[in-house]
């Protein structure tokens, strides 16, 4: 056993090293700060980003040390630092290959590691050292850090787990799969944390991702706020975060669809309906076309303009671009028809133009006789007949003039109209009740329409609008890598929207099929991904729950088993020492027993928000979040939802310490095994009462 003196001496030595590391960090920051003054804006921006990166790694700059069998040492931290002017590493970035054994070395597979030290700091001060020896022959010098040491106090926002990343998680973080990596695991297994660390790892190993951009998609703004500090804490500032709805900031979501309607809108067939509705408008209507231009009427038979339409739609272009091709073809047809109308001319030797010739461009014998009688002497290059008055340049000018003519454009618009995504979606899905009418959707502002109950867009409309925009030809911003969290909730249409933003199909997809609550959501990853990436996707699984204590997990496991017989929920890593409780109650009394978070069905949310100081969320809104103390209200109503058991399972697994349940009627059978609390709960006590 190390003596107190040994420990103190080690603390002093590590403090010296850590102080030197901060000294180097400060020097680099100074250099970056002066770089920010550069007159070259690009260089200044680069230095600014570098300064932000160096500032973000202040807390816990160095958190580990590897002692190798060859006697060398490697310090591990949030950023790589090198001795000034030399290649010698002072601190290894946790993402560097040489740092990996810090996460993966075990007694059985030591990777040359003799000992692993975890260094805890507060500010710049080293406060604790935890040593783990991987050499069975060496004497122990410190405490072994086990899984139970992973649960630090929660701060209300997700922190990074770079100091305690577990081997099964580290394998996923460093997985080199180039396509879609699906991280599937039960609640609390660290899927979100792992996906964000993987993103930081990819940005480190593939720096070009920083310029191509990375996107993190989460289920709600609350969730994005909750995870918002993780990547900056790992020194990565450039990720864009968004919900599916925020990918279309131009659309305001103002209504909620009934579950059945949302499910229909989420099906992949919606894409076919949209495409059919759009292309059905391309050159489909009408018979012969008559255009009035410069006092001349030109008529094109249906067979003639259909040729132009088929040419335009057969080029694989989006609708609006194809429309331009169609218009160009049409005005060319019209211009040539107009040019044909103008009389042909013959040029005399002196260059004078005189009428002559037939419509087929040849001089008849009669023409020649008449011209000779008139004393016209043809030049040598007039032998093959008369010329048209208009040459190719004139025809091109005529095309431009036709395109600028309001009447002509009106006719062309009737044949191939300009469309908006809103108009298309309103037309196709209006009967489902999301929008009152196409006219309102396209033309009118919401002002004055508030009385109209049918007006507005729902979250399920966003992927439809995006699909329509894509078919019409609008392009969306794309990213080099995309992380999709709570991916089980995305409908087939939402997946199409995501895939459009990631042409390289390099993605980390995070989810749990047992937590799906959206009826349009996923029941199989294969079904969801194969249409987009065929077999370029891989599944990685996490099995240990770091959040939910075993007592709560045992209760949540009953709900899980009722919905997914034969499957296993994740193993909990620790016990809380408190079992969950339930009691019968009423809505009015919930305020007295509110915990840190109340999870309730949507129908009770407004009343609870009025009456309780605690935060109130629906199961859907609570997705991905965690709270020390959770109170679930009216579970029977939660179970009424189409995938109600999954919702209840999600709600129960948000708690990191305490869980209470208030049911209004008889207890649902899935919760019958939970300890019943009969005595009156004292006012102001949380679910731990
Ligand atoms: N290796 C680890 N070390 C420390 N804490 C960890 C570790 N892995 C996960 N955690 C913690 O466990 C909690 C759950 O992690 P996370 O939210 O990533 O899980 P999840 O699988 O996404 O959960 P859910 O599916 O319920 O949303 C977080 O507080 C996270 O910081």
Distance of alpha carbon 570 from alpha carbon 423, whole angstroms: 47
Share of the chain above pLDDT 70, in %: 84
Share of the chain above pLDDT 90, in %: 54
- How many Å lie between the centroid of ligand 1 and the Cα of residue 547? 6
Say which range, 4-8, 150-154, 271-275, has the weakest mean pLDDT: 150-154
Annotated binding site, which residues?
185-192
Mutational pocket test of ligand 1: of 511, 515, 547, 556, the residue with most ligand atoms within 8 Å of the beta carbon: 547
Mutational pocket test of ligand 1: of 102, 190, 648, 653, the residue with most ligand atoms within 8 Å of the beta carbon: 190
Closest ligand 1 atom to 515 CA: 25
- What's the gap between Cα 79 and its chain centre? 27
Annotated binding site for ATP, which residues?
185-192
- How many Å lie between the centroid of ligand 1 and the Cα of residue 578? 20
Mutational pocket test of ligand 1: of 546, 556, 657, the residue with most ligand atoms within 8 Å of the beta carbon: 546
> How is residue 19 written in tokens?
């102080």
- How many Å lie between the centroid of ligand 1 and the Cα of residue 209? 25
Closest ligand 1 atom to 653 CA: 26
- pLDDT at residue 140 greater than cutoff 50: no
How confident is the model over 310-327, as a mean pLDDT? 92
Closest ligand 1 atom to 546 CA: 12
Residue minimizing CA distance to atom 18 of ligand 1? 190
Closest ligand 1 atom to 510 CA: 22
Distance of alpha carbon 469 from alpha carbon 472, whole angstroms: 5
Name every protein residue with a CB atom under 6 angstroms from any ligand 1 atom. Answer: 150, 158, 161, 164-166, 169, 185, 187-193, 512, 546-547, 624, 626, 653
Mutational pocket test of ligand 1: of 150, 155, 161, the residue with most ligand atoms within 8 Å of the beta carbon: 161
- Closest to 547 measured CA to CA, from 655, 437, 423: 655
pLDDT in tens, 492-549: 999 999 999 999 999 999 999 888 888 788 889 999 999 999 999 999 999 899 999 9
How confident is the model over 247-264, as a mean pLDDT? 88
pLDDT in tens, 405-422: 888 888 888 899 999 999
Distance of alpha carbon 522 from alpha carbon 102, whole angstroms: 36
- How many Å lie between the centroid of ligand 1 and the Cα of residue 637? 28
State ipTM. Answer: 0.98
pLDDT value at residue 141: 42
- Give the model's confidence band at 385: pLDDT under 50 very low, under 70 low, under 90 confident, else very high: low
pLDDT value at residue 357: 55
- How many Å lie between the centroid of ligand 1 and the Cα of residue 95? 19
- pLDDT at residue 432 greater than cutoff 70: no
- pLDDT at residue 156 greater than cutoff 50: yes
- How many Å lie between the centroid of ligand 1 and the Cα of residue 656? 11
Residue minimizing CA distance to atom 30 of ligand 1? 190
Going by DSSP bridges, is the β-strand pair 655-663/581-584 parallel, antiparallel, or unpaired? Answer: parallel
- Closest to 514 measured CA to CA, from 203, 185, 267: 185
Q: Which helix (H) or strand (E) holds 266?
A: helix 259-266
Residue minimizing CA distance to atom 15 of ligand 1? 190
How confident is the model over 472-497, as a mean pLDDT? 95
Closest ligand 1 atom to 193 CA: 18
DSSP H helices, 473-533, are 492-500, 525-533
**Measured between alpha carbons, how far is residue 2 from residues 9, 43, 141 in Å?**
11, 51, 5
- Give the model's confidence band at 451: pLDDT under 50 very low, under 70 low, under 90 confident, else very high: very low
As a three-state string, the secondary structure of 171-214 is HHHCCCCCCEEEEEECCCCCHHHHHHHHHHHHHHHCCHHHHHCE
Residue minimizing CA distance to atom 24 of ligand 1? 187
Distance of alpha carbon 280 from alpha carbon 419, whole angstroms: 12
Q: What is the largest CA-CA distance in the chain?
A: 129
As a three-state string, the secondary structure of 51-112 is HHHHHHCCCCCEEEEEEECCCCEEEEECCCEECCCCCCEEEEECCCHHHCHHHHCCCCCCCC
Closest ligand 1 atom to 194 CA: 18
pLDDT in tens, 52-83: 999 989 999 999 999 999 999 999 999 999 98
Closest ligand 1 atom to 511 CA: 25
pLDDT value at residue 55: 92
pLDDT value at residue 185: 93
- How many Å lie between the centroid of ligand 1 and the Cα of residue 141? 30
Closest ligand 1 atom to 485 CA: 22
- How many Å lie between the centroid of ligand 1 and the Cα of residue 226? 12
- How many Å lie between the centroid of ligand 1 and the Cα of residue 150? 10
pLDDT value at residue 304: 83
Which position has the higher pLDDT, 520 or 216?
216
- Give the model's confidence band at 139: pLDDT under 50 very low, under 70 low, under 90 confident, else very high: very low
- How many Å lie between the centroid of ligand 1 and the Cα of residue 242? 20
Distance of alpha carbon 425 from alpha carbon 159, whole angstroms: 41
Range of 157-161, 184-188, 511-515 with top mean pLDDT? 184-188
Residue minimizing CA distance to atom 9 of ligand 1? 190
- How many Å lie between the centroid of ligand 1 and the Cα of residue 546? 6
Say which range, 34-43, 166-175, 604-613, has the weakest mean pLDDT: 604-613
- Give the model's confidence band at 109: pLDDT under 50 very low, under 70 low, under 90 confident, else very high: confident
pLDDT in tens, 544-590: 999 999 999 999 999 999 998 888 888 898 887 789 999 998 888 88
- Give the model's confidence band at 152: pLDDT under 50 very low, under 70 low, under 90 confident, else very high: low
Q: Burial-class residue 445 by CB neighbours within 10 Å (0-12, 13-18, 19+).
A: exposed
- pLDDT at residue 148 greater than cutoff 50: no
- How many Å lie between the centroid of ligand 1 and the Cα of residue 486? 13
Closest ligand 1 atom to 150 CA: 4
pLDDT in tens, 330-383: 888 888 887 776 655 555 556 665 665 555 555 666 666 766 676 666 655 555
- How many Å lie between the centroid of ligand 1 and the Cα of residue 158? 9
- What is the four-CA torsion angle of 137, 140, 146, 148, rounded to 10 degrees? 160
Mutational pocket test of ligand 1: of 159, 188, 622, the residue with most ligand atoms within 8 Å of the beta carbon: 188
Closest ligand 1 atom to 169 CA: 1
pLDDT value at residue 531: 95
- pLDDT at residue 464 greater than cutoff 80: yes
Enumerate residues 6+ apart whose C-beta is below 8 A from 134.
105, 106, 107, 110, 113, 114, 115, 116
- What is the four-CA torsion angle of 98, 189, 521, 230, rounded to 10 degrees? -60
How confident is the model over 202-212, as a mean pLDDT? 93
How many residues does the structure list for the chain?
A: 689
**Measured between alpha carbons, how far is residue 575 from residues 85, 168, 548, 650 in Å?**
50, 21, 8, 19
pLDDT value at residue 33: 94
């Amino acid at each position: 056993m190390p003596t107190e003196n040994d420990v103190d001496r080690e603390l002093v030595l590590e403090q010296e090293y850590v102080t030197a590391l901060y000294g180097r960090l400060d020097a680099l920051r100074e250099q970056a700060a002066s770089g920010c003054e550069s007159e070259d804006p690009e260089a200044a921006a680069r230095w600014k980003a570098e300064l932000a990166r160096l500032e973000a790694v202040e807390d816990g700059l160095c958190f580990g040390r590897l002692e190798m069998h060859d006697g060398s040492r490697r310090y591990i931290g949030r950023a790589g630092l090198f001795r000034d002017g030399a290649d010698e590493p002072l601190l290894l970035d946790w993402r560097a290959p040489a740092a990996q054994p810090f996460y993966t070395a075990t007694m059985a597979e030591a990777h040359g590691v003799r000992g692993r030290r975890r260094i805890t700091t507060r500010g710049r001060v080293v406060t604790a050292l935890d040593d783990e020896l991987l050499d069975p022959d060496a004497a122990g010098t410190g405490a072994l850090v086990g899984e139970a040491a992973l649960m630090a106090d929660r701060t209300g926002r997700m922190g990074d787990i770079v100091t305690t990343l577990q081997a099964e998680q580290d394998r996923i973080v460093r997985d080199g799969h180039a396509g879609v990596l699906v991280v599937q695991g039960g609640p609390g297994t660290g899927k979100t944390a792992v996906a964000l660390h993987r993103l930081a790892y990819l940005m480190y190993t593939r720096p070009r991702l920083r310029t191509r951009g990375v996107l993190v998609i989460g289920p709600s703004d609350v969730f994005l706020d909750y995870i918002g500090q993780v990547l900056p804490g790992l020194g990565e500032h450039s990720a864009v975060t968004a919900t599916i709805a925020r990918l279309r900031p131009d659309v305001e979501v103002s209504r909620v669809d009934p579950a059945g309607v949302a499910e229909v809108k989420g099906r992949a067939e919606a894409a076919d309906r949209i495409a059919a509705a759009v292309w059905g408008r391309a050159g489909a209507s009408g018979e012969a076309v008559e255009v009035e231009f410069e006092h001349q009427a030109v008529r094109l038979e249906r067979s003639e303009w259909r040729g132009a339409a088929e040419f335009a739609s057969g080029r694989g272009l989006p609708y609006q671009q194809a429309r331009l091709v169609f218009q160009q073809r049409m005005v060319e047809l019209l211009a040539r028809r107009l040019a044909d109308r103008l009389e042909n001319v013959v040029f005399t030797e002196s260059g004078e133009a005189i009428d002559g010739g037939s419509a087929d461009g040849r001089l008849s014998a009669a023409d020649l006789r008449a011209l000779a009688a008139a004393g016209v002497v043809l030049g040598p290059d007039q032998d093959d007949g008369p010329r048209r008055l208009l040459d190719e340049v004139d025809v091109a000018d005529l095309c431009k003039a036709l395109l600028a003519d309001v009447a002509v454009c009106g006719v062309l618009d009737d044949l191939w109209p300009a469309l908006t995504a809103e108009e298309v979606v309103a037309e196709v899905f209006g009967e489902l009740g999301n929008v009152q009418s196409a006219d309102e959707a396209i033309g009118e502002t919401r002002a004055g329409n508030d009385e109209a109950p049918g007006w507005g867009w729902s979250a399920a409309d966003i992927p439809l609008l995006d699909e329509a925009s894509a078919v019409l030809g609008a392009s969306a911003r794309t990213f080099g890598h995309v992380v999709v969290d709570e991916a089980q909730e995305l409908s087939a249409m939402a997946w199409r929207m995501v895939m459009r933003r990631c042409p390289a199909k390099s993605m980390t997809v995070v989810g749990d099929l047992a937590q799906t609550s959206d009826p349009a959501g996923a029941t199989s990853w294969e079904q969801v991904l194969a249409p987009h990436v065929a077999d370029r996707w891989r599944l990685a699984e996490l099995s240990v729950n770091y959040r939910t204590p075993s007592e709560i997990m045992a209760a949540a496991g009953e709900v899980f088993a009722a919905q997914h017989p034969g499957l296993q929920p994740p193993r909990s890593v620790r016990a809380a020492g408190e079992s969950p409780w339930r009691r019968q109650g009423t809505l009015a009394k919930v305020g007295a027993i509110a915990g840190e978070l109340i999870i309730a069905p949507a129908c009770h949310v407004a009343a609870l928000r009025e009456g309780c100081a605690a935060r109130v969320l629906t199961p859907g809104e609570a997705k991905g979040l965690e709270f020390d103390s959770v109170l679930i209200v009216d579970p029977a109503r939660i179970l009424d939802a189409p995938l109600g058991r999954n919702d209840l399972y999600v709600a129960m697994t948000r708690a990191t310490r305490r869980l209470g349940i208030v049911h209004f009627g008889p207890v649902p059978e899935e919760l019958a095994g939970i300890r019943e609390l009969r005595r009156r709960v004292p006012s102001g006590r949380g679910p731990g009462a």
